[in-house]
């Protein structure tokens, strides 16, 4: 057995425990009774420590050195690169910090579910300050190990190769044209009339509708399922993908498109290269690429006129209604492309969404770099919300700085992935249209040509390529935000 093969076997052991952790996390969010949280949190913290111990075993340093001297193919080198990156990310952290952060995050997230509804910033802050403190410790340790600044060191977990400098350039450019574009579109849409859902929409029927749409999107139900949670997410592992959404009995529009979004994540997971399963090379390239797949499904496909027509027909069949005009493709198109300045990120339209992301990026960047304190966040949130979207969140914590789950467990560095994903999705669609008749595929109800392109160019690559290599291989160039701007202008300003 070569040393690389020993490293791969060791990685697969770790992968088995990560599988268990993922399913436990899904159950904690979707199925577990609230009284089980303390015991579950302690069990998951112990599991995280065990995984960390496996990731940092002393012999691994020698194995990596030995493997680097072996004769390796191009793919072998990529596998070794990703194994070493994963090892380095874990090896810099002491086990007691891993355990403390897991416990603090579980406690904060569980309490947040109630505290957010109660607009209880003080109660949330009592827990969150410990999460921030431990995350800042982690950021500093990672910074010292990598030579990066603290925020870049955290960003590298989710977006390897991306830096604050590049993000500042991208987001400053977006801020230079986005507010004016939003205002243009809001003014343009004021003259439009449309019908919104009225009455009650049975949640069981909403779930059945979601399952029908997942079938249309060729989700593999033998290796995944749909459930309900407070915050929609996609978890589990490629062979057992767990999607969740949330339902509102007064409308079905958001939950339905939420299912489309999470199915994009799930399709990527299910399409990852099975030959490299159990190793980091067989995992998603980055969170930005992961988000590109969910946003490709939600925004590039989900808001396509032809797909909207399919959604309208399926929705009309799902609900017995006295509102036939609601379920026309024309009305659905207006519902799903409505631009409105609002407080909630997860409910935001694709045009205002980048403003929500930039706000969070700027706050978490300065928080991890020690330029602000956790107690400054509500006021900064209000200032930036007023500047970017003209809305005030003063005293409105539940719809302001307490609305997201990500910071409750210390996932700082994650938020830029959403807008990077939207930009990549627009670029992928532009490239796909050169060889695939996307509209014809959607009209036919058989989206196979679309998924074949994604599988060939994105899913099957896993992490064998760097992000830049992946995007360039699929589109002919590295990330170019101009595709995103052109997409938005074409969809929202073109009659």
Which 3 state secondary structure label does DSSP give 211?
Answer: helix
Residue pointed to by tokens 């057995």:
1
339 vs 335: CA distance, rounded Å: 9
CA-closest candidate to residue 82, choices 237, 286, 270: 286
Question: Could you report how far apart the first and last alpha carbons of the chain are, in Å?
Answer: 63
- Other beta carbons less than 10 A from residue 67's beta carbon: 22
Q: Number of helices and strands (H, E) in the chain? A: 20, 3
The first and second tokens of residue 351, run together, are: 């045009």
457, 320 Cβ separation under 8 angstroms: no
CB contact set of 373 (below 8 Å; sequence gap of 6+): 367
The phi and psi torsions of 292 (rounded to 5 degrees) equal: -65, -30
143 vs 154: CA distance, rounded Å: 8
235 vs 158: CA distance, rounded Å: 16
325 vs 316: CA distance, rounded Å: 10
CA-closest candidate to residue 409, choices 63, 174, 98, 169: 98
The single-letter DSSP state of residue 245 is E
User: Of 130, 262, 298, 362, which residue is the catalytic one?
Assistant: 262
The phi and psi torsions of 320 (rounded to 5 degrees) equal: -75, 125
Active site residue 262: yes
Which 3 state secondary structure label does DSSP give 198?
Answer: coil
Query: Residue 271 burial (CB < 10 Å; 0-12/13-18/19+)?
Result: buried
Query: Residue 200 burial (CB < 10 Å; 0-12/13-18/19+)?
Result: exposed
Cα dihedral 452/457/460/463 (nearest 10): -160
Active site residues per annotation? 262
């Amino acid at each position: 057995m070569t040393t690389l093969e020993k490293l791969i076997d060791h990685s697969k052991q770790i992968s088995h425990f990560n599988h268990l952790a993922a399913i436990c996390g899904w159950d904690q969010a979707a199925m577990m009774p609230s009284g089980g949280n303390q015991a579950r949190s302690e069990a998951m913290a112990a599991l995280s420590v065990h995984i960390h111990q496996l990731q940092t075993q002393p012999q691994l340093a020698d194995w990596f050195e030995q493997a680097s001297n072996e004769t390796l193919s191009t793919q072998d080198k990529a596998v070794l690169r990703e194994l070493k990156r994963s090892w380095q990310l874990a090896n810099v952290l002491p086990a007691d910090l891993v355990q403390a952060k897991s416990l603090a995050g579980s406690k904060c997230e569980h309490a947040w579910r109630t505290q957010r509804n109660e607009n209880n910033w003080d109660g949330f802050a009592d827990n969150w300050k410990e999460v921030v403190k431990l995350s800042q410790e982690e950021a500093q340790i990672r910074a010292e190990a990598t030579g990066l600044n603290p925020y870049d060191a955290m960003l590298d977990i989710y977006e390897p190769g991306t830096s604050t400098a590049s993000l500042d350039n991208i987001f400053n450019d977006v801020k230079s044209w986005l507010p004016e574009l939003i205002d243009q579109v809001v003014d343009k849409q004021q003259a439009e009339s449309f019908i919104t859902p009225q009455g009650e929409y049975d949640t069981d029927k909403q779930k059945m509708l979601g399952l029908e749409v997942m079938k249309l999107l060729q989700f593999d139900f033998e290796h995944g399922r749909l459930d309900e949670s407070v915050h929609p997410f996609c978890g589990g592992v490629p062979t057992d993908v767990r999607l969740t959404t949330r339902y509102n009995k007064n409308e079905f529009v958001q939950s339905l498109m939420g299912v489309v979004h999470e199915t994009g994540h799930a399709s990527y997971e299910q399409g990852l290269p099975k030959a490299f399963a159990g190793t980091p090379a067989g995992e998603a390239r980055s969170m930005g690429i992961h988000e590109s797949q969910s946003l490709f499904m939600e925004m590039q496909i989900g808001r396509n006129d032809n797909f909207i027509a399919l959604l309208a027909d399926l929705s009309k069949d799902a609900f017995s209604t006295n509102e036939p005009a609601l379920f026309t493709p024309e009305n659905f198109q207006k519902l799903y492309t409505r631009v409105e300045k609002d407080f909630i990120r997860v409910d935001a339209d694709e045009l205002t969404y980048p403003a929500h992301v930039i706000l969070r990026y700027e706050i978490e960047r300065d928080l991890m770099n020690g330029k602000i304190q956790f107690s400054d966040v509500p006021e900064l949130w209000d200032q930036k919300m007023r500047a970017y979207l003209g809305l005030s969140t003063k005293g409105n914590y539940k719809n302001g700085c307490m609305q997201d789950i990500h910071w409750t467990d210390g996932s700082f560095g994650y938020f830029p992935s959403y807008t990077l994903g939207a930009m990549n999705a627009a670029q992928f669609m532009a490239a796909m249209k050169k060889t695939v008749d996307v509209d014809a595929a959607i009209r036919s109800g058989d989206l196979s040509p679309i998924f074949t392109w994604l599988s060939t160019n994105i899913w099957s690559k896993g992490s064998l390529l760097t992000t830049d290599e992946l995007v360039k291989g699929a589109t002919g160039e590295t990330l170019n935000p101009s595709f995103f701007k052109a997409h938005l202008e074409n969809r929202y300003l073109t009659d």
